[in-house]
A and B are shown apart, each in its own frame.
Chain A
Amino acid sequence: MTGNGSGGRHDKARRFRDAALPHLDDVYTLARYLLRDASDAEDAVQECYLRALRHFDTFRGPAIKPWLFAILRNVCRGEFARRSGPLHTMDSETDEDEEAVRPLWQEPQVSPETEMLHQRDAKTVRRLVAELPEPFREAIVLREINELSYREIADVVGAPVGTVMSRLARARCMLRKAWIADEAEQGLPT
């Protein structure tokens, strides 16, 4: 509360600004997909940056973006979970648990894979991604839109790389099915 060390505080704020503010759009993008609501996303991002500033001393690098994502994710899971429904229920998930999940996503092999996908506008693709259930939505947004590596995604979501990989596989399978179903609904020619 006193002025003691306020020079350091300002220096910290400046370093934080330089490091964290360039990623604002990325953090906001993740918030939009996680919360699926523009004003909730704004609130969550603001809270995320305040927390990040408070804990900036504990940031050890190397990349700040995954660190900000991890904080944002915590914010979303805490205060905003009530409004958006549970972000996910697979916290205790381990690699063994994945086994139980497997049959669900093997079933579509009936074969949409020979079908060509139509290019869709960004709005439609955003919607298709937003409709994916957690934690698959999160995995695909972190990979395809925020372009994180598997290792970084694993760090953000606190799961093993193997789990990230299988979530991503299932996410893409779901997204492709939804994409094709949506094309059919829109009456696009096959």
Chain B
Amino acid sequence: MTCNETDILLHALLDGELDAGHAREVESHMESCPSCAAQLRAYGELQRAMPAAPLRYTAPAGLRRRIESALPSAPPRASSRRSVLKGFAMGTALSAAMAATLVIAVIRTDQDQRVLGDVLSAHVRSLQGDHLTDVRTSDQHTVKPWFNGKVDVAPPVVDLTAQGFTLLGGRLDYIDGKAVASIVYRRRTHVINLFVAQDAASAHRGAKLDAMQGFNIRRWSAQGLEFFAVSDVNAEELQEFVEKFEAALHSASGT
């Protein structure tokens, strides 16, 4: 065995990764080569000087909580829907009527869930590969006109860089089978997709927060538009984003 080979194999010896035959070969080389023997001692010393435990880090409690809360843990939601149907089958006119309204509510919720599912998929898709922006610029006056003729709304685009949300650009996306505008912001390493669509309900609805697969989705409507802000930032930061966006929107339309 040569010194060159031993140079590397002595590490495997230290790590207990050599089979008996090779270990014996390395050791016998050491006996006749003081330089390699000194190296083995030196690296053994290094290994002893860096015990693993103090070099480890402990995950912050907040991180553990966030991961745990992202795991589905509530009892399966399906059972509640099943009990609604059971109620429907029970019979009396009253209960049937009540159940009917419940069924409508359930169907509405399903529709909502589907839209949220679409929103979430669009967000996740946008993070894959190079699909985040179709128009990439931090200039709000470039992003807004880019949507002309591509979607049936004129999405408000505001620059929130000063408020800690950097405008990255815009993208065309599809939610619920319709083309919608997505305005893309960045918060530190997190991407926020703000989807803007025509408001189907045409009524002002308050903000609502949903959490799906570890992402937060805030949906609200204003000025005849429906907004969905999606991101993996925490709920408070997403709320902050919505507030900053609304504030900028109001001051823009006020002047």
B20 part of interface (Cβ distance < 8 Å): no
CB pairs A–B below 8 angstroms (14 shown): A6-B76, A6-B77, A9-B72, A10-B75, A13-B71, A24-B59, A24-B63, A27-B59, A28-B59, A46-B70, A46-B232, A117-B49, A129-B55, A172-B43
Q: Which residues of B contact A169 (CB under 8 A)?
A: 7-8, 11
Q: Separation in Å of the B186 CB from the closest CB of chain A? A: 11
- Residue A62 is within 8 A (CB to CB) of chain B in the complex: no
- Interface positions of B (Cβ within 8 A of A): 4, 7-9, 11-12, 15, 17, 35, 38-39, 41-43, 45-47, 49-50, 52, 54-60, 62-64, 66-68, 70-73, 75-79, 81, 113-114, 117, 127, 188-190, 213-214, 232
Q: Which residue of B lies closest to A146 (CB)?
A: B52
Instruction: Say whether B42 contacts A113, CB under 8 Å.
Output: yes
Q: Which residues of B contact A54 (CB under 8 A)?
A: 213
Grouping DSSP codes into helix (H, G, I), strand (E, B) and loop, the A interface class, with mixed when no group exceeds half, is helix
**B59 adjacent to A111 (CB under 8 Å):** no
> In the bound complex, do residue A122 and residue B54 qualify as a contact, i.e. CB atoms below 8 Å apart?
yes
Q: Please classify the interface of chain B as helix (H, G, I), strand (E, B), loop, or mixed, using the class held by over half of its residues.
A: helix
In the bound complex, CA of A89 to CA of B208 (Å): 45
Q: How many residues of A contact B (CB 8 A)?
A: 64
Flag if B66 contacts A46 (CB, 8 Å). yes
Q: Is A157 among interface residues, defined by CB-CB distance under 8 A?
A: no
Cross-chain contact B189 with A46 (CB below 8 angstroms)? no
A6-B77, A172-B43 known; A144-B52 Cβ under 8 A: yes
Q: How far is the CB of B210 from chain A (nearest CB, A)?
A: 13
B35 with A80: CB separation less than 8 A: no
